[in-house]
């Protein structure tokens, strides 16, 4: 049976949740599921905003048919061509063959690439408007948030911003639709941060650009393609986006990530962690061989300083740490203090090599007190640990 939620008198959510997906995009675990949002506007014309992932098409089409209530579907607006939102476009056209697609020029190219067929298109550019009857839609290009074709849409009557991937979150919605129907800060903010930093985190400049473009709009609600609709406390979430996109830490604190084969490097990392906590400094620790990189990257966007500890392995950085650091650097993290612990039984080299990766990032303040272990931490190194903790404390 259908399961829809009303947003305004004229706009209905017709999306669906997926709690069976193991890995979003094949990379990001989603243990709490994910939603694929689609919205139907009913005016003199009916307009659907995006479709859904192929995993949830059955529920989506039931929802759409119910929301249309026997009306014909006139238009599909495509705000994002990634297949988690566009996979159902051709099936939509089989069911509703008269639908015209409203999209940007880059979207039109991608439509042709994904689906080898002709489409009935109305192409729009930045600032164009489209009249649906009493509602007028305004198109706002949002390149690289998260793909180059992304197009946000502002409904001038209901003051809704259809924001594509921006302002989304991982996590199924479990009956809620609006962020104010859950304890978002307690239950969803971590997943929202993990979603933003891993999906869009590399494109901070482009996110800032579109935040500036939508800033003058009078927005009553933000309708993203994943997760909750925001109709209250918009500034809370927009402020998070401002920080994340500018690579400004949300909190002063130290993220410790370590790779340790036999526990000796971990021992040193914990010894520094204890010293930091004794100083009252917020400290989080992750074993990069155990915790998925997406979680540690999200924490990296949250905290102001990093301590990376790794054994030397085949004359390089331990494999899981090297993979993590390259992933972190690829997400363009910047404006952080960074310290290192290296270990090596015969030729410790991981400190210099880890620093080499972090030197590819901008605005990094390197802490020079690298601690070198020869196989294991020695009692004689207490002063080195104290100095490293003190240097981190001064630089968070």
The residues binding ligand FEO (CB under 6 A) are 80, 82, 84-85, 146, 165, 225-226
Residue 13 Cβ vs ligand FEO, minimum distance, rounded to whole Å:
16
For the beta carbon of residue 128, count every other beta carbon within 10 angstroms.
16
Q: Which is nearer to ligand FEO, 96 or 203 (CB)?
A: 203
Residue 225 Cβ vs ligand FEO, minimum distance, rounded to whole Å:
5
Q: Which is nearer to ligand FEO, 38 or 370 (CB)?
A: 38
| Rounded CA separation 146/221 (Å) | 20
Residue 77 Cβ vs ligand FEO, minimum distance, rounded to whole Å:
15
- Give the position of tokens 């706002």: 140
Which residue has its beta carbon closest to ligand FEO?
A: 82
Residue 53 Cβ vs ligand FEO, minimum distance, rounded to whole Å:
8
Q: What DSSP assignment string belongs to 89-118?
A: HHHHHHHSTTPEEEEEHHHHHHHHHHS-S-
Q: Which is nearer to ligand FEO, 245 or 320 (CB)?
A: 245
Residues 6+ positions from 129 with CB-CB distance below 8 Å: 136, 137, 138, 139, 156
- Give the position of tokens 């998260």: 146
Q: Which is nearer to ligand FEO, 15 or 351 (CB)?
A: 15
Alpha carbons within 13 angstroms on the beta-carbon side of residue 48 total 31
Q: Which is nearer to ligand FEO, 145 or 307 (CB)?
A: 145
The dihedral formed by the CA atoms of 48, 77, 225 and 30, expressed in degrees to the nearest 10:
90
Asked if residue 47 lies in contact with residue 100, where contact means CB atoms within 8 angstroms, the answer is no
Residue 145 Cβ vs ligand FEO, minimum distance, rounded to whole Å:
9
Residue 226 Cβ vs ligand FEO, minimum distance, rounded to whole Å:
6
Q: Which is nearer to ligand FEO, 161 or 325 (CB)?
A: 161
DSSP strand pairing (34-36 vs 16-18):
antiparallel
Whether the CA torsion 242, 247, 253, 256 is positive or negative: it is positive
């Amino acid at each position: 049976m259908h399961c829809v939620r009303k947003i305004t008198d004229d706009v209905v959510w017709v999306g669906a949740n997926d709690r069976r997906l193991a890995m979003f995009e094949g990379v990001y675990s989603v243990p709490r599921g994910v939603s694929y949002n689609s919205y139907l506007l009913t005016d003199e014309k009916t307009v659907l905003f995006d479709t859904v992932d192929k995993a949830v098409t059955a529920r989506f089409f039931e929802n759409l048919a119910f929301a249309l209530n026997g009306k014909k579907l006139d238009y599909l607006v495509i705000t994002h061509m990634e297949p988690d939102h566009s996979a159902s476009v051709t099936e939509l056209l089989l069911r509703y063959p008269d639908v015209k697609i409203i999209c940007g020029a880059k979207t039109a190219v991608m439509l042709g690439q994904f689906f080898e067929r002709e489409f009935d298109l109305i192409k729009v550019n930045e600032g164009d408007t489209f009249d649906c009857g009493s509602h007028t839609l305004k198109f706002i290009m949002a390149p690289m948030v998260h793909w180059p074709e992304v197009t946000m849409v502002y409904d001038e009557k209901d003051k809704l911003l259809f924001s594509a991937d921006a302002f989304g979150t991982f996590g199924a919605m479990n009956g809620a639709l609006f962020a104010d129907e859950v304890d978002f800060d307690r239950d969803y903010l971590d997943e929202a941060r993990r979603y933003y930093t891993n999906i869009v985190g590399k494109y901070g400049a482009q996110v800032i650009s579109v935040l500036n473009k939508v800033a003058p709009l009078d927005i009553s609600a933000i309708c993203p393609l994943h997760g909750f609709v925001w109709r209250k406390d918009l500034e809370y979430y927009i402020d998070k986006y401002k920080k994340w996109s500018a690579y400004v830490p949300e909190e002063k604190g130290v993220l410790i990530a370590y790779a340790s084969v036999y526990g000796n490097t971990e021992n040193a990392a914990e010894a520094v962690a204890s010293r930091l906590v004794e100083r009252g400094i917020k400290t989080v620790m992750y074993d990069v061989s155990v915790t998925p990189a997406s979680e540690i990257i999200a924490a990296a966007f949250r905290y102001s300083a990093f301590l990376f500890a790794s054994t030397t392995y085949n004359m390089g950085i331990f494999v899981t740490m090297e993979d993590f650091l390259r992933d972190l650097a690829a997400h363009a993290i910047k404006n952080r203090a960074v310290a290192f612990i290296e270990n090596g039984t015969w030729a410790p080299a991981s400190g210099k090599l880890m620093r080499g990766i972090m030197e590819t990032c901008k605005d990094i303040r390197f802490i020079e007190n690298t601690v070198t272990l020869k196989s294991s931490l020695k009692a004689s190194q207490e002063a080195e640990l104290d100095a490293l903790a003190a240097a981190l404390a001064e630089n968070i």
